[in-house]
């Protein structure tokens, strides 16, 4: 069962604009959420995380928003840069298990 879903397999945005990647989860026991970025032929690298006690976490151009009532989180990248083009995975943890979404491929066009 897919407890973490990224319903958009791909997203294309113009350089300088905002990229919004979405992620939905079903398990209310998840209390820690992460975003990973992955380039081709490499493993994912950690990008940003958020605990369930917060609804927003910011790190430079990257902001993650958490809506616990909707079981939804999103990653905002502002402004988007061509180097941001990669596959982005969201992940959720309940302290024991970690579940991943299938990924969203972001393409930022110059």
Partner 1 sequence: KAGVTQTPRYLIKTRGQQVTLSCSPISGHRSVSWYQQTPGQGLQFLFEYFSETQRNKGNFPGRFSGRQFSNSRSEMNVSTLELGDSALYLCASSLVVGQDTEAFFGQGTRLTVV
Instruction: Find out whether the peptide bond into 79 is cis, omega within 30 degrees of 0.
Output: yes
Count interface residues toward partner 1 (CB under 8 A).
22
Site string for partner 1, 54-83 (x = CB under 8 A): ------------------------------
Q: Is 42 in the site for partner 1 (CB under 8 A)?
A: yes
Q: Is 40 in the site for partner 1 (CB under 8 A)?
A: yes
- Dihedral angle, C-alpha 67, 30, 38, 55, nearest 10 °: 30
- DSSP code of 82? G
Instruction: Mark the segment that binds partner 1 (CB under 8 A) among 19-27, 41-49, 61-69, 75-83.
Output: 41-49
Positions of E strands within 26-100: 32-38, 45-51, 56-59, 62-67, 72-77, 86-93, 98-100
Binding site for partner 1 (CB under 8 A): 1-2, 9, 36, 38, 40-44, 46, 87, 89, 91, 96-100, 102-103, 105
């Amino acid at each position: 069962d897919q407890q973490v879903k990224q319903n958009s397999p791909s997203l294309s945005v113009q350089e300088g604009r905002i990229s919004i990647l979405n992620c939905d989860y079903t398990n209310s026991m998840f209390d820690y959420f992460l975003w990973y970025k992955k380039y081709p032929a490499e493993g994912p690298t950690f990008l940003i995380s958020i605990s369930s006690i917060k609804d927003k976490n910011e790190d430079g151009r990257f902001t993650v928003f958490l809506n616990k009532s909707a079981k939804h989180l999103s990653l905002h990248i502002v402004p988007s840069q061509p180097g941001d083009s990669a596959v982005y995975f969201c992940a959720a943890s309940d302290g024991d298990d970690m579940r991943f979404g299938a990924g969203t491929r972001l393409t930022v066009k110059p």
